[in-house]
Chains A and B, each alone.
Chain A
Amino acid sequence: MKTIAGSNNRILEINLSHQQFKETPIDPRDRELFMGGKGLGLKLLYDRLTPGVDPLGEHNMIALCTGVLMATGAPCSGRFEAVTKSPLTGIMATASCGGPFGMALKTSGWDGLVITGKAAAPTYLVIDSQGVQFKPADAIWGQDTEAAQEKLLQEGKGALVIGQAGENLVRFANIRSGHRYLGRGGMGAVLGAKQLKGIVAKGGEVRIVPVHKERFTKINKRLGRSINQNAVTSGSFRSYGTNANVHLSNAAGILPVRNFTGGSHGEAHKVSGETMAAQFKTTWETCKPCIIKCGHKGTINGQMRPIPEYETIGLLGPNLEIFDPVVISEWNELCGKYGMDTITLGGTLAWAMEATEKGLIDTDLKFGSPQGVSEMIERIALGQGIGKDLAMGSRWASRKYGGEDFAMHVKGLELPAYDPRGAVGQGLAYATANRGGCHLSAYVLALEAFFGMADPYSVRWKPYMVKFFEDVYAAVNCLHICHFTAFAVELEPPLIKLTPNFVVKILNQIVSPLALNLLDLSFWPELWHAVLGKHYTPYISMIKFRKAGERVHVLERYMNTREGISRKDDTLPQRLLTEGRRCDSEQHTVPLAPMLEKYYKIRGFDADGIPTPRTLKRLGIPVK
């Protein structure tokens, strides 16, 4: 087996129309500036993709990129990133996944794939260190993700596969790898439009080792210790999965209830992680390698099934006023099989329920009633009846049928399960997140609503916090390592750990930039430098790391502005701007406008939200 120190540094470019492929080395400058994973994927598309192409057309591309940590054995590093132009939002979509495909791709000797063109007939790809084989997929076309994946895995160690939803161009279809998904933005439909049922990577052909092995091992251990100490990563997430958040959100009044009208609900405990863990006797089922272990499975109705994540619970549960964990996990599994994003599905179903209630569409969906939901999921996946309209997402459906004011999406991407009226900073984060309504762009709400480290209703310094975390998380997605390591990396260093949370809150209120700049993020850059064998300078490297994140974030923004995004799109659903939650006696709304103004200023965008040439130049993004 070939051993590679550092990274493969080569990309496989595949054209489905002509059944050709070529190998492209990664420009060292791109590696320096855009790191890998998300950043690299965006840069590849930035160089190749013409703005204004049809997301479901031949000319759209999808890039699948791993980071330098992949296959090095760093904790929680088994993640890879997909980048494409989304058919749901019409702008760039990025998604991260912890399935086995990433590892297999990297150990096949590639750092990434760029796929373009459109196959004439259903196809799947088999990738090894030599290149790619195009194979007819007629046999598995029309099968669900589980069955198809099983077939594909006979040819390699990791596979990507779409279900019927992707084949039927459901705009929020996802791509499955193992038990994990490239969830958001409708990547499945992009593959479906290209008639690409799946991709298999053979894997196990090369071995990746860090250049500075000893330093790497040392950091690795320290990070592992931090993760094992942290209350979130080693406590609630490890014991209950992400739906440990149900309790926290419900208490903070940011749980979406009845299509984002409630804020909290008395029955929410029925679907909390704690209840489910007890009820279904859960065990772990996670990405590799992982030591947080947020993924769980359990025995539900006598069958071993994955336990839904918090977002799935939130949006298919309380947001539809359903508090039965069994039906939610059934729907979750159904979505998995068809290959659909549960967040967008939940948001769209909630919209459909409210639209039905208000006489805009005619379905048998009703808040609080599980009746008809499974059927509707099937109709959406297979494009039958009104399901065909709902398969376009809530933005499209609400433009057709009305009810745009309660279609809970930003830029076409449905909101995840945190109500920003109880955490206004998160409201700004939703509005400015590049791919649309996304909590992973900047998870400010944890500080605001969970840890009590920032005032959830104050707008002061929130733009700064949002920018800070956007930069950090963009960089994390370039490494690429799990987001949840952030709890350990950010909160475990002694300075912040020893300061009581209410003091942090006061500091954040008065001198947030100072407080944030004192935050020690050194684990991440240290890992990066150890793998690539570069010299690590304390603090400076951390600043550079954040700047790389900023570069990636601004690049994505810039690419989006070329697709028509501007200030008008950086907004929130009308409901969040004008109505209070039922649980909130003071009827808070999100005061978006003043925060946005400030945010643009510190980001270096003009008043219309477009990155200025100066900003692009400062970050080293070539202007096109």
Chain B
Amino acid sequence: MHIERYPELKPGRKWIKRFYLSIMLWTVGKAIPVAAKVDKEIKKELDKLPDNFTLRLMILPERALGPFFYAKMLPAFVADKGLLPYGMQMIIHKDKEGKLHYQGADPRGKKFDLSMAFKSLEAAMMVFTFRESTPTGYAHDRFVVEGYLPYATAFMRVLDIVEVYLLPKPIARLAVKRYPKWSEMSPLRKHLNRLIIYVRAFTF
């Protein structure tokens, strides 16, 4: 038997999907701390998490994406500011005072109290292109939770609300189990908060 007939195959990369997902993670990561300041309910949910708590949403364990070549040159304290999108992770830290910070995608030197890891890039694509809502994704085992499950459920509730803010209604309806009713979130509040979140999240 000629062994060369059956070559070894190293896994390739899906660059476009990686790029899309890193932008999505960056957007959500930047939006959550701002939303926590604006929205009472998010604040309430996040209050359930202990202080000095680090959580991450992870799609792939690599810390930087090839095209974002600058990422590898940045020292940790700059990278942790999360100023630019560059990775396949989203790290959020709750400090001693209960304030939230988006810390980019660099897991170096951090200890995670809660980690939600997608099983594969395609699984993350299913959720982040809203073909599957977060609960469906959870039910379909698209991601695994490491850490205390109740914190994860709280965080998933936060994600739901943030998605409602960030996304236009037709898309957000796909992403959450039940789009908030009038009584839960008035359109005025929604649009106002949406504006604030967008402006504050992306104006540094």
Contacts and interface: CB of A to CB of B under 8 A. Distances in A.
A and B touch in the complex (CB under 8 A): yes
Interface string A560-592: 000000000000000000011000000100000
Interface residues of A, number: 3
A579 B5 CA distance: 11
Nearest to B4: A587
Interface in A526-557: none
Contacts of A579: 1
Contacts of B1: 579
Interface string A59-91: 000000000000000000000000000000000
B2 interface: yes
Interface in B1-36: 1-2, 5
A587 B2 CA distance: 8
Interface string A417-437: 000000000000000000000
Nearest to A579: B1
B41 to A, nearest CB: 64
Nearest to B1: A579
A587 B3 CA distance: 11
Contacts of B5: 587
Contacts of B2: 580, 587
B159 to A, nearest CB: 52
Interface in B129-183: none
Nearest to A585: B2
A580 B2 CA distance: 8
Interface residues of B, number: 3
Contacts of A580: 2
Contacts of A587: 2, 5
A580 B1 CA distance: 8
B3 to A, nearest CB: 11
Nearest to B5: A587
A587 B5 CA distance: 9
B4 to A, nearest CB: 9
B28 to A, nearest CB: 51
A382 to B, nearest CB: 39
B155 to A, nearest CB: 53
Nearest to A586: B2
A168 to B, nearest CB: 39
B139 to A, nearest CB: 44
Nearest to A584: B2
B2 to A, nearest CB: 5
Interface string B62-79: 000000000000000000
A587 B1 CA distance: 9
Interface string B32-53: 0000000000000000000000
Interface string A428-460: 000000000000000000000000000000000
A95 B2 CA distance: 39
B7 to A, nearest CB: 14
B152 to A, nearest CB: 50
A580 B6 CA distance: 13
A244 to B, nearest CB: 32
B25 to A, nearest CB: 47
A580 to B, nearest CB: 7
B108 to A, nearest CB: 49
B107 to A, nearest CB: 47
A579 B1 CA distance: 8
A579 B6 CA distance: 13
A48 B150 CA distance: 84
A262 B172 CA distance: 66
B161 to A, nearest CB: 59
A580 B5 CA distance: 11
B64 to A, nearest CB: 43
A396 to B, nearest CB: 28
Interface in B106-141: none
B169 to A, nearest CB: 55
A557 to B, nearest CB: 36
Nearest to B2: A587
A111 to B, nearest CB: 54
A197 to B, nearest CB: 49
A258 to B, nearest CB: 14
A576 to B, nearest CB: 15
A488 B5 CA distance: 43
A582 to B, nearest CB: 10
Interface in A577-612: 579-580, 587
Nearest to A587: B2
A262 to B, nearest CB: 14
4 contacts: A579-B1, A580-B2, A587-B2, A587-B5
Interface of A: 579-580, 587
Interface of B: 1-2, 5
A-B pairs, 4 with minimum CB distance: A587-B2, A587-B5, A580-B2, A579-B1
